[in-house]
Amino acid sequence: RPGQPAAKPLADHRALGAELDQVQECLVGANDGAVGVDHDEVEHAHVAYRILSGELPYRDFYQNHWPTYWLVVTRFVQSFPFSMQAILASRVVGLVALTGCCLLGLRLLLQIPGGRTREAWLVYTAAVIILGVVFEFYVARPDPLMALFATAGLCLIPACGAVRIPQALGLGILFG
């Protein structure tokens, strides 16, 4: 019709839609890569990879953490090689460790006078939430697992009485 713009063929709309879809995928991919991955997460996944490659920490490469965390993370790196899934699975370790800290701490509250009150539980729960946020327990790193070991060590200390030799040995291993 004269005076009206010519309608574009359907193929042109599909091509434009495909191009916009590719741009969107690039933007989402760039955002996923730029946001949400801490440098420590990549470092610890790389350490786990090096262990899987037969290298030993402290002998073959420098590291300043205990190897317990990497021994757990190697399973994820082996299952999801060179994948974000390994880091996401490693984050679960931190969240499970924080949950374990919370539960062990609640157990400790039951052993002390005044620990069975609602206020004590609220203060403790708030402290665990603050600890989790400040220390970024949602980031895949060894700290949450080490906090779990330390909390387990606190559970070995009796509320009253002396620490026996097996308990002292367990404390040394957990706090070590």
The pLDDT value recorded for residue 28 is: 46
Work out the percent of the chain whose per-residue pLDDT is above 90: 5
Burial class from Cβ neighbours inside 10 Å (0-12, 13-18, 19+) for residue 14 reads exposed
pLDDT in tens, 94-119: 888 888 988 888 888 888 888 888 88
* pLDDT score at 14: 57
**Would you state the pLDDT for residue 30?**
46
Mean pLDDT rounded to a whole number for the chain: 78
Residue 143 pLDDT > 50, yes or no? yes
Q: Note the pLDDT of residue 78.
A: 92
Instruction: For 32-68, give the DSSP string.
Output: HHHSS--HHHHHHHHHHHHHHTT--BTTTB---S-TH
Q: How far apart are CA 58 and CA 134, in angstroms?
A: 29
How many whole angstroms separate alpha carbon 79 and alpha carbon 87? Answer: 11
Question: pLDDT of 45-98, one tens digit each?
Answer: 888 999 999 998 888 888 888 788 888 899 999 999 888 888 888 888 888 888
pLDDT at 81: 85
- The percentage of residues in the chain with a pLDDT greater than 70, rounded to a whole number, is 78
Q: Confidence band (pLDDT; 50, 70, 90) for 18?
A: low
pTM exceeds 0.85? no
